[in-house]
Amino acid sequence: MGMARTDVGGQRPIEVLACCHRLLAEEEGLELADLDSIHLNFSSSRQFVTSTSVWLHKHVANNSASISAVYLVDFDSISIRTVDKNRAKQEARFSAIGWRHHATGNISKIKKFVQEHHRYPDYILWDQKRTSFQPSACRLIEFASLEDCLAHSSISTIAVYGDSQGWRYGLALKGYLSRHKMPCQFIANEKRRYMEPDLEYLSRGNDQLRARMQPTSHSCSSCSGFRAKCTSLSTNKTVNIEYIDTEGVMSKYVTLRAGNGSKAVPTFEEFIFEVYLKDSFPDLNVFFVPMNHIKHKPFEYFTYNFPRLLSIIKANKPPHSEIYFIPGTAESEEAMTSRYRNTLFYGVLATGAIRRLNEELFAMLEPELVNATSNIYSFLDLVEVTSPVLGWSVDGVHFDRKWYAAFWKSYFSFYCDDYSTVNNTNTLK
């Protein structure tokens, strides 16, 4: 697996215990001297510490009571958080089974975890070189051929949705395919004037459609859409990819007035899924929910509008098309300029707001995630995934390109597992 481990069975590193003691003291407002009666034991089901985190049990005994708690210590962010004891036992048992049997990770295993635990897996491991990540219960595989994987799944078109983060994921997908012997070339780019939508691009040359368009200004200056064609070096088969700007849910960036026997279309999302993609709905859709923008609005905005968006997509998505709703990433207060640092969003900092939105996203998606016949999926809570790599944040919101590359490497390792386990059993190095 290539995962850095520090054996803590018997020979527990002094520096690890010291770090845990200090963090625990800070967590509970105690002096280090007060911890003499506190005994820290590393989880018996996980006899190692990864390079980034460790689970530990705290046991406090006195004359009349015995109190225990479970913590997750993150060494990258130098932080500690309490974990529900029963939940920790379930997670540890799930993880121990995965490690013991070297289970590979795939979307169906995440679905099974969701069915059993009603949440995203939230104990995430990164490989030693920080090029991929996975839940602790499974290992990633190196698939033999991305082209064969996509062909196996009948994928010839991929759409990436999102705000300025989504734009970066879209560019990273283009690069990822190119590195897998499917070099990509841009075939069309949205040419915005300032932040006004490019109606020629969005109408695809349909003059009647363009005449009905009613644009307003976008709120994102670096979210122009693009289309690219990726061609296999070995077979000449092509995969078309597209980035589509979505900065909210049920927004008004482009709407349609009624005309030519067609009804009015009151939101941009309805325009995208009912009109723009009507005759060319992508086979694989990866929707990075724009939590950076959504967190600025009241919580009820999201809980009211996301089900509406989901209904629109379900009504217009062909049965074979898959869509993955990806939660938002953590944000780094330290990397933000003073203008934005420590801003509260309805009482909490940015990452706390996004974590809450991600939890609500899961709750709204859960009926689809546990439905064996649904082609609507999610992945992992990216707040949990990115918290150990906040040093990659370039401005508090966006990341160095290493993050976007790691996302696609990990995502496709999960996506391609069904094909890959038949053709290749190597683990990632």
The class of domain 146-423 in CATH terms is alpha beta
Copy the structure tokens of residue 60.
């406090």
Q: What's the pTM value of the predicted model, to 2 decimals? A: 0.76
What span, in angstroms and rounded, lies between the C-alpha atoms of 55 and 260?
Answer: 63
Least confident of 34-43, 107-116, 219-228: 34-43
- Higher pLDDT among residues 68 and 170, named by residue: 170
Domain boundary assignment for the chain: 5-102, 146-423
- Do the domains 5-102 and 146-423 sit in the same CATH topology, yes or no? no
The pLDDT assigned to 346 comes to 94
In angstroms, rounded to a whole number, what is the distance separating the alpha carbons of residues 17 and 32? 12
> 54 φ, ψ to 5°?
-155, 140
pLDDT at 15 over 60: no
Classify domain 5-102 by CATH number.
3.30.720
Structure confidence at residue 26 (pLDDT): 56
Whether pLDDT at 232 is above 50: yes
Rg, the chain, Cα only: 23
Residues forming beta bridges with residue 262, ordered by sequence position: 259
pLDDT at position 218: 87
What band does 392 get if pLDDT is binned at 50, 70 and 90? very high
**Do residues 299 and 261 lie in contact, with contact meaning Cβ atoms separated by under 8 Å?**
no
pLDDT of residue 98: 30
Is residue 212 predicted with pLDDT exceeding 60?
yes
* Across 182-207, average pLDDT: 94
pLDDT at 48: 32
Complete DSSP assignment for 171-230:
HHHHHHHHHTT--EEEEEE---BTTB--HHHHHTT-HHHHHHEEE---S-SS---EEEEE
Give the pLDDT mean for 190-218. Answer: 93
